[in-house]
Amino acid sequence: MEEMRKLRAKRVVIKVGTSTLVYPDGAINLRAIDQLAFVISSMRHHHREVVLVSSGAIGVGLNYMGLKQRPKAIPDQQAIAAIGQAELLSIYKERFAIYEQKIGQLLLTRDIFVYPKSHQNVLNTFEALLAQDVVPIVNENDTVAVDELDHETKFGDNDQLSAIVATNIDADLLIMLSDIDGFYDGNPHTDAKAKLLPHIATVDAQTYALAGGSGSRFGTGGMVTKLKAAERMLKADGQMILANGADPAVIFQILAGEPVGTLFG
């Protein structure tokens, strides 16, 4: 059995995937959102600084509009994201209020981190929110972030966004909650012998060779994007844990040093 982990976790970024927030049939998982609000509020009461990077805008938007499939046209997807983002933040605000925890919203595009002035402005915003005991809830600004623009605005996925945010605000730890228990040496969905790897010290070509494809129909991330995020955290001398977000209370086990999921670093 693996020993208890030693984590640096004064400033933590938590990334939650669509699969945690939205059921496979498209309904919103209010229990998971409530549990997430409870865990993060508890962390704040124990004087940890927490940033939440939340997917789910399109999944929630589809549910709100009564649609079963994501539209194909980019403007239609952006409209769904705008609708879903408002609904998602409304749910978060309601749930966090139960635990007397204030939240704020940051919608980001990649070019914000490229241009020095906007980069400094957004870092100032993060620091001000954290100093005022507010939990920043971050997502990509899907209404303007598209690949077709003449400068790169799109992060590509919230796995990358969470790692970029974490490294820019000097977070100690990135906790990535997904629909898989951690990083395996094979595909656990198709290979019964696939083993969970509890600790990965470095991300290299061999690690990428083990990675599979994307997950749910509502999300965009796959294992490769999670490895890229881990690689970014390791280069910044941070740590990342990939764990199953079906029950967000798993964060308590992670912070206690229990060998849950896969630790990168």
153 is in an annotated binding site: no
Is 207 marked as a binding-site residue? no
Is 93 one of the annotated binding-site residues?
A: no
| Terminal-to-terminal C-alpha distance of the chain | 18
The position carrying tokens 């991330």 is 221
Structure tokens at 100: 């007397």
Q: Answer yes or no: is 202 a known binding residue.
A: no
Question: Nearest 10 degrees: CA dihedral of 137, 138, 143, 144?
Answer: 140
186 is in an annotated binding site: no
Gap between the Cα atoms of 22 and 120, Å rounded = 34
Q: Is 219 annotated as a binding residue?
A: no
Please check if 224 is assigned to a binding site: yes
Q: What angle do CA 118, 37, 164 make, to 5 degrees?
A: 30
The answer to the question of whether 170 is labelled as a binding residue is: no
The answer to whether 225 is annotated as binding is yes
| Residue 158 in marked binding region | yes
Distance CA 106, CA 126 (A): 9
| Residue 55 labelled as part of a binding site | yes
How far are the Cα atoms of 210, 226, 247 from residue 229, in angstroms, in the given order?
A: 16, 5, 22
Annotated binding-site residues for substrate read: 55, 142, 158
Annotated binding-site residues read: 15, 55, 142, 158, 178-179, 220-226
Annotated binding-site residues for ATP read: 15, 178-179, 220-226
